[in-house]
Amino acid sequence: MTDTTTSGEYRLLIGGRLVNGHGSMPVINPATGLAFVECPRASETQAEEAIQAAKKAFPQWAASAAGERQALLRELADAMEREHESLLRLLTQEQGKPLAESAFEVSAAIGFLRYFAAASPPAPKVLEVTRERRVEQHRRPLGVVAAITPWNFPVLLIAAKLGPALLSGNTVVLKPAPTTPLTAMRIGELCARIFPAGVVNVITDRNDLGAMLTNHPDVRKISFTGSSATGRKVMASAANTLKRMTLELGGNDAAIVLPDADPAQIAPALYAFAFMNCGQTCLAIKRLYVHDSLYDRMCEELAKLANAVVVGDGLNPNIQMGPLQNEQQFAKVRELLEDARERGNVIAGGEVLDGPGYFIRPTIVRDVTDGDRIVDEEQFGPVLPVIRYSDPDDALQRANASPMGLGGSIWGKDPQRLRDLAARMDAGTIWINKHLDFGPSIPLAGSKQSGVGIELAEEGLAEFTQSHVINMALG
């Protein structure tokens, strides 16, 4: 059953041509739980065609001038700017986030593309010159890159992968998440008008083509964003061909509030950084450690904020929080909530909204601790556990005990104490008195099971290249 049918609007992009899929699949609006469009689904044959098209296009694209690649990235950013309104509305329909958050994501994606359009590929470096030798390091593009994007930020993460991959001289096969394929195909339409045939290809699937991409001998690099469980499968599959990979995986980010903090002052920021995108953000605050002396006040402040939020269909401009993106994630969060009710106290939210869609009100859970599922597992939804502690060093040790290590933050007033704890926090990015502040010029890397490799900035750009050292005898 569908609430709207717009079948036939969307196409795959393979070898510069917009084509139908060999099959189709429904795309669900998470605010209704109903399909609102049938979109094309690629077959293995079409995935192979996309890989071969990217392989064929690679030599000429790699040989093109950096200025040409930069100009085409700017053209893509300009084209997305012109389609800003339609992209953000489509994003809200397929992903669920409110229009304001969709507008922010599309704008951020355009900004990421413009950053890489203004950047330069890694320049050659002279490492050593002596009487005996001259050593230079060059950076060469790898070849075909498979970019696999998730459903939580389907537009922004396309830009974060396309920008550095294309600037470096690689060609791309893009595979979006099965539940959010539409914005990727719209961007594919723009790419078809801008880039030479085969430089960018867009295919869709029902999670049945990923292994083919990760195991394919003609794919030289995987750029994957998603869960740690899927990341392990990607790594295992890619091992057969020892291809390069960047994995940006799950997080269970801890925030530690020190006893000199002001709960009323920082609660709005803590709330915002925990519940952005309905809590479906890898770098969101997922565990909040609060000192005994502030614990009750902090819980009260957070509960007030959660209770005031308006939840509903993101297409309504008055809505502040949309639904969870898909039924599977909806079921997982409900399961964790039931466990949290048994082990702690739900002081705000926790209700599943009556009616269609995957809605859960923003939830604050207190009186839980390490060892409880809601603390130990990444909930990836609108639930924040608040954990009591008495010794900041103990809180840090508990925060570091997680197998995840994507990000974390420390909140308080003593600069030296804040920096000391931040220096000892085991995660890829540590913020002080803020959280979720990132951008294309800042390297992003996970610690432990939160990722492999570096994304963004100069270091992330280098990960789309092969180091090529020329060591010449002199004299």
- CATH code for position 356: 3.40.309.10
Dist CA 468 CA 140 (whole Å): 7
Dist CA 70 CA 398 (whole Å): 45
Dist CA 374 CA 364 (whole Å): 11
128 and 270 belong to one structural domain: no
Dist CA 362 CA 284 (whole Å): 14
280 and 221 belong to one structural domain: no
163 and 92 belong to one structural domain: yes
- Mean local confidence (pLDDT), 345-368: 97
**475 pLDDT band (50/70/90 cuts)?**
confident
Dist CA 48 CA 45 (whole Å): 5
Dist CA 407 CA 427 (whole Å): 5
- The enclosing domain of 147 has a CATH number of 3.40.605.10
Does the pLDDT at position 450 exceed 70? yes
Spacing of C-alpha 224 from chain mean position: 9
416 and 462 belong to one structural domain: no
Greatest pairwise CA separation for the chain in angstroms: 81
243 and 264 belong to one structural domain: no
430: its two tokens: 């540590």
Adjacency order of strands within the sheet including 451-452: 17-19, 12-14, 200-202, 171-175, 144-148, 219-225, 244-248, 451-452
- In the chain, how many domains are there? 2
271 and 394 belong to one structural domain: yes
232 and 380 belong to one structural domain: no
- Mean local confidence (pLDDT), 104-113: 98
222 and 268 belong to one structural domain: no
CB burial class (10 A; 0-12, 13-18, 19+) of residue 30? buried
Does the pLDDT at position 2 exceed 80? no
141 and 25 belong to one structural domain: yes
31: its two tokens: 């605010």
Catalytic residues: 248, 282
First to last CA, the chain: 78
Secondary structure of residue 138 in the 3-state scheme:
strand
Please report, for the chain, how many H helices and E strands are present, in that order: 15, 22
What domain range is 38 assigned to? 12-249+450-470
Residue 244 included in any domain: yes
- Mean local confidence (pLDDT), 308-331: 98
Residue 207 included in any domain: yes
119: its two tokens: 């950047």
Residue 2 included in any domain: no
125 and 183 belong to one structural domain: yes
Residue 276: count other Cβ atoms within 10 Å of its Cβ. Answer: 19
Q: Is the dihedral of CA 223, 380, 95, 115 positive or negative?
A: negative
Q: What is the DSSP letter of 332?
A: H
312: its two tokens: 């509903």
- Region class of 105: left (phi > 0), else alpha (psi between -120 and 50), else beta: alpha
Nearest alpha-carbon partner for 52 in 202, 208, 198: 198
- pLDDT tens by residue, 187-227: 999 999 999 999 999 999 999 999 999 999 999 999 999 99
Dist CA 205 CA 364 (whole Å): 36
62 and 129 belong to one structural domain: yes
Does the pLDDT at position 104 exceed 70? yes
- pLDDT tens by residue, 22-63: 999 999 999 999 999 999 999 999 999 999 999 999 999 999
Query: What pLDDT was estimated at residue 8?
Result: 58
Helix (H) or strand (E) holding 289: strand 285-291
Residue 187 included in any domain: yes
344 and 432 belong to one structural domain: yes
410: its two tokens: 């420390």
Does the pLDDT at position 271 exceed 80? yes
185: its two tokens: 């195909």
* pTM for the predicted model, two decimal places: 0.96
- Mean local confidence (pLDDT), 292-315: 98
Secondary structure of residue 470 in the 3-state scheme:
strand
What's the whole-number average pLDDT of the chain?
Answer: 96
Spacing of C-alpha 237 from chain mean position: 21
Dist CA 401 CA 426 (whole Å): 9
Dist CA 453 CA 221 (whole Å): 12
Does the pLDDT at position 7 exceed 50? no
> Measuring CA to CA, how many Å separate 236 from each of 212, 231, 242, 405?
12, 9, 10, 21
DSSP lists the bridge partners of residue 429 as 407
What Rg do the C-alpha atoms of the chain give, in angstroms? Answer: 23
